[in-house]
Amino acid sequence: MAQLEDELGDILEKARDGKSWSQQDLAQATGISTQEIRRIESYELIPDEAVLLKIAAALDLHGPSLVAIARNSWAPKETTPDPAAFDLVCLNVFMGSYPVKCYLLICRETRDTAIVDTGANPQAIIQKARELNVQPGKILLTHSHPDHAGGLGVLDREFNCPAWIDKKDPRPSGSRDLRFVEDGEEIALGNLIIKAMATPGHTPGGVSYLIGESVISGDALFAGSMGRANASWPGLFQSITTRLLTLPDHYRLHPGHGPATTVGEEKQHNPFFVGKVPQ
Ligand SMILES: [Fe+2]
């Protein structure tokens, strides 16, 4: 089974963040000791089901989904290839030992190629582009964090092509032709159309890119969890529930960390979002 990006401890910490609760606040709301909560959040303790359900209720999480993740009994099913005429090549690019998922998006008919997110040390992207004999002509950034955009300078020199980011995000360095992408904007790639969707909250200008029935969603959502809400927790929650999870159930979601998933999987199994998506 695919290894999820977030474990039980990460999920609790993010859910507490949504309520601006300290570990003491959670202890008070549940009657569980602060010491036990600290051990759960530092991955030392997986409590029994009754405790997990109590925590889930206090944090507005879906209890059975939280239990399934705590017990490693759920991961999203492997996604099927998108029927549209593109190849999406996922690469694990490391920042130190921390992997980030970057993508080569290739129009199958024309071989026009875009890089989505650069990683910090993008040699793997350059090597893969050579192997596939493609010449990337666009760099699309989901946000400007260094693990996603730190390799921009190297890729700019290698491929000499423009890069796009939302102007509400801090500007990453390294591009000689940085352009701003707007919500709803359509970017052509060969015979394909890539549509930008603003999904802020992890950062002020987080963007997801929709192509065919697939979305490259950066750090907005992870399979079974959500990104860290560095800019706005309610903003991120709203981005996910009103923009990503309102897409059809079979649409594929390709996050910046952890396995790919689908809208339907997350609506049924993500403890943050079960029952929270407007119909
Ligand atoms: Fe990030």
The CATH code for residues 86-269 is 3.60.15.10
pLDDT for residue 96: 85
Whole-number Å distance, alpha carbon 153 to ligand 1 midpoint, is 18
Q: What's the gap in Å between 33 CA and the centre of ligand 1?
A: 32
The domain spans of the chain are: 8-70, 86-269
Length of the chain: 279
Are 8-70 and 86-269 in the same CATH fold?
Answer: no
Query: 29 CA distance to ligand 1 centroid (A)?
Result: 30
> CA 80 → CA 137, 141, 186, 213, 214, distances in Å?
26, 24, 24, 11, 10
Q: Is 218 exposed, middle or buried (0-12, 13-18, 19+ CB in 10 A)?
A: buried
- 229 alpha carbon – ligand 1 mean position (Å): 9
**Ligand 1 center–CA 20 separation, angstroms:** 20
In terms of DSSP bridges, do strands 192-198 and 178-180 run parallel, antiparallel, or are they unpaired? unpaired
Cβ-proximal residues to 272 (8 Å cutoff; 6+ apart), any chain: 11, 14, 15, 61, 62, 225, 226, 237, 240
Q: How far is the CA of 142 from the centre of ligand 1 (A)?
A: 9
CA 170 – CA 9 distance, rounded (Å): 29
| Span from the CA of 198 to the centroid of ligand 1 (angstroms) | 15
Q: Count of H helices and E strands in the chain? A: 10, 14
Instruction: Say how many Å lie between the CA of residue 11 and the centre of ligand 1.
Output: 16
User: In angstroms, what is the span from residue 147 Cα to ligand 1's centroid?
Assistant: 7
**What would you measure as the largest C-alpha separation in the chain, in angstroms?**
61
Averaged pLDDT, groups of 10, the chain, 279 residues long: 95 98 98 98 98 98 98 97 97 90 98 97 96 98 97 98 98 98 98 98 98 98 98 98 98 98 98 92
Question: What residue has token string 């890069």?
Answer: 163
pLDDT at residue 94, rounded to an integer: 86
Q: Residue 143 Cα, ligand 1 centroid: separation in angstroms?
A: 7
| Ion ligand 1, residues whose Cβ is below 5 A away | 145, 219
Please state, in angstroms and rounded to a whole number, the distance separating the CA atoms of residues 162 and 132.
21
Ligand 1 centroid – CA 50 distance (Å):
33
88: region left, alpha or beta (phi > 0 left; psi from -120 to 50 alpha): beta
Distance from residue 211's CA to the centre of ligand 1 (Å): 21
For the chain, how far is it from start to end, CA to CA, in angstroms? 30
Distance CA 53, CA 64 (A): 8
Q: What is the pLDDT of residue 121?
A: 87
Fold type of domain 8-70: 434 Repressor (Amino-terminal Domain) (1.10.260)
Q: How far, in Å, from the CA of 47 to the mean position of ligand 1?
A: 29
CA of 202 to the centre of ligand 1 (A): 7
Q: Are the C-beta atoms of 159 and 152 separated by less than 8 Å?
A: no
Q: Measure 218 CA to ligand 1 centroid, in angstroms.
A: 7
pLDDT at residue number 217: 98
What is d(CA 245, CA 278) in angstroms, rounded to the nearest whole number?
Answer: 9
Residue with tokens 């992207």: 125
